[in-house]
Homo-oligomer: A and B are copies of this chain.
Amino acid sequence: MIDGLDARILELFTREPRIGVLEASRRLQVARGTVQARLDRLRDTGVIASLAPTVDPAALGFRVTAFASLDIRQGARASVAAHLSRIPEVLEVHTITGQGDLLCRIVARDNDDLQRVIDDLVGDDDIVRTSTLIALSTVVAPRILPLVESAATPPSRSWSTRGITPGESDRNSAVVP
């Protein structure tokens, strides 16, 4: 899906988001248009899902993160989903295999507040049982770069054979106006 240059672009923009296309092209030793085209394609293909700023719930005062596993009544998935999406502290919900039916990522201001959120959570009669795991500390913070690099493995791809290796940028003769 992506090649080494894409990975380097993603890495650069992840580390220094405000860098801009022009400066990025300088750092990567490629033409500005190339970086621009790559970025456009990365957005078009969905690799770059969003350019939205990442908001830290902790900085908003929600210092507790927890994962709640919910057992729900058969066929009530949709209604439970609607219920959950109405709770702001529910950041993410997945259907999962295993004992539980749903796994929610939730936040709260503190442990007492977490109780309130959980009470909100289980306010739906279609939720049969819940089990909550409180995140005590973050061992590996959310990251994506290692995966990006591992996804870029093949040094060359059909739609991008050149521009991978740094230092070959001025091989073309310049266009004389």
- Give this chain's copy count: 2
Docked-complex contact A50 and B54, CB < 8 angstroms? yes
A contacts with B: majority SS: mixed
**Interface flag for A51 (CB, 8 Å):** yes
**Chain B proximity mask over A110-150: 1 for CB below 8 Å, otherwise 0:** 00000000000000000000011111111111111011111
In the complex with contacts A14-B52, A96-B133, A133-B103, A57-B139 CB distance below 8 A: no
Interface size class for chain A? 35 or more
- Residues of the B chain whose Cβ atoms lie less than 8 Å from the Cβ of A139: 77, 81, 84, 93-95, 102
- Residues of the B chain whose Cβ atoms lie less than 8 Å from the Cβ of A58: 46
Identify which of A23-31, A59-67, A157-165, A167-175 touches chain B: A59-67
